[in-house]
Amino acid sequence: MNLSRLPDERAGPVTATFPEGAHRARTTQFEPSIQGLRGLAALSVLLVHLYDMPMLAGFLPAVPSWLNATVGTFGRGVEVFFMISGYLIPASLVRHKLISKFFYDRCLRILPVFVTFHLILFAIGPLVGYKFFKDIDALNYLKIFFANLFFLPDILNLPLGQQNAWTLTYEWAFYIWFAVAFYFASRSRPITALVVVAGCAAVFYFPITAYFLIGLVLGAIELRIRAQGLPGLIFSVACLALMYAMMEYVHPFAGLIPAFFLFSTVLNPDSAIAQLLSKTAPQFVGKISYSLYLVHPFALYPLQVIGSKLVAHGYSPWAVWPIFVIVGLPLSFVASTITYELIEVRMRHAVAALLGDSKRRSLAEARND
């Protein structure tokens, strides 16, 4: 039975649906709730850094243990990005048809912002006394420079330059893994099986990669949970909170079930959470989310230095920390919006034109990727 055909009055606030033709439409159709969810993930990472950076700099005042435990879960927004990639990347690869074209577009999407701030960090960091470069010689400087440029610091056990860039290592690994599986799927069943087994083995070594599988599964089975009204919104928010808490304090695998339910409600346009994420403000945050995710540590760093010096001169952390948050939050959004417009849009188009990309995709088609 196709539950999506049931009359509304026969369905409760939380029901399952199986939309017809959704997989085919997903190769071209923009889904606003996905963009809004991406914004929510980036915002949660920003919020945890508004807490962690003052703590590391020594001007976070004593806070209740429940607040510390709650904020500590916000960093799990990165796994939300993994779910989104698991859902979108297969459709993107199918749409591009050629693996080379797919990776060309991935590079245009990811590298301009990352490489720009990579160069800024390694050019200006030593001059301003950034502790990352303390007591580093020329050879190690070059080693760390290239390791970070190619997303290898974790693999080579070297220091990480950009605070949040470690997730890009997992993203690129997933792109490569799925592209290889996609290539051999119609050519060699044994090799395809080997690639799949290797991916499953990687999940046990790196448990957070299991969240890519949620996107893959929901893209394949098209199960959607219709969580409507206030009860539906409470259900989705509870799933998000439980996912974060289980991942942070139990095990990444423990958060898979609430994450699955959360993502399936987000993918149903009739759900309250999907409608909320489709509003103007979440859409804007989602649009700049990649810049927001990578850029906000750069925007907050000068404030972190100032806050540390103010406390050293006798100012109360209870005065310094709120100012850090009040100034840092809008500053992060301003810096990220500028980065989005100048680098993600203009520089990306300029690079595409320079490379002779005569078939540039429309923003409506590309902005979900």
Burial class (CB in 10 A: 0-12, 13-18, 19+), 98: exposed
The pTM for the full model equals 0.91
Number of structural domains the chain divides into = 1
Q: What is the mean pLDDT of residues 259-273?
A: 97
Is 79 or 135 the better-scoring residue by pLDDT? 79
pLDDT at 28: 52
Coil, helix or strand for 305?
helix
Average pLDDT, the chain: 89
Q: In 3D, which of 263, 239, 254 has the Cα closest to residue 87?
A: 263
**Residue 227, beta-bridge partner list:** 14
pLDDT at 320: 97
Q: Calculate the CA dihedral of residues 92, 95, 101, 104 and round it to 10 degrees.
A: -30
**Mean pLDDT value of segment 141-169:** 91
Is residue 339 scored above 60 in pLDDT? yes
Q: How far apart are CA 344 and CA 330, in angstroms?
A: 20
The closest of 88, 46, 58, 125 to 296, measured between CA atoms, is: 46
Name the CA dihedral angle for 261, 262, 264, 268, rounded to a multiple of 10 degrees: 130
pLDDT tens across 174-184, in order?
999 999 999 99
What was the pLDDT predicted at 357?
Answer: 63
Q: What is the 3-state secondary structure (H, E, C) of 256-287?
A: HHHHHHHHHHHCCCCCHHHHHHCCHHHHHHHH
pLDDT of residue 368: 60
pLDDT at 9: 44
Q: Which domain holds residue 125?
A: 3-366
**Is the dihedral angle over the CA atoms 272, 78, 296, 347 positive or is it negative?**
negative
The answer to whether residues 200 and 240 touch, using CB atoms and an 8 Å cutoff, is: no
3-state secondary structure of 227: strand
Average pLDDT over residues 68-74: 92
List, for residues 217-232, the tens digit of each pLDDT value: 999 998 999 999 999 9
Structure tokens at 108: 């245009």
Enumerate the H helices of the chain as residue ranges.
22-25, 32-57, 65-71, 77-96, 99-128, 138-149, 153-156, 166-184, 189-205, 210-221, 229-249, 256-266, 272-277, 280-287, 289-312, 317-339, 348-354, 363-366
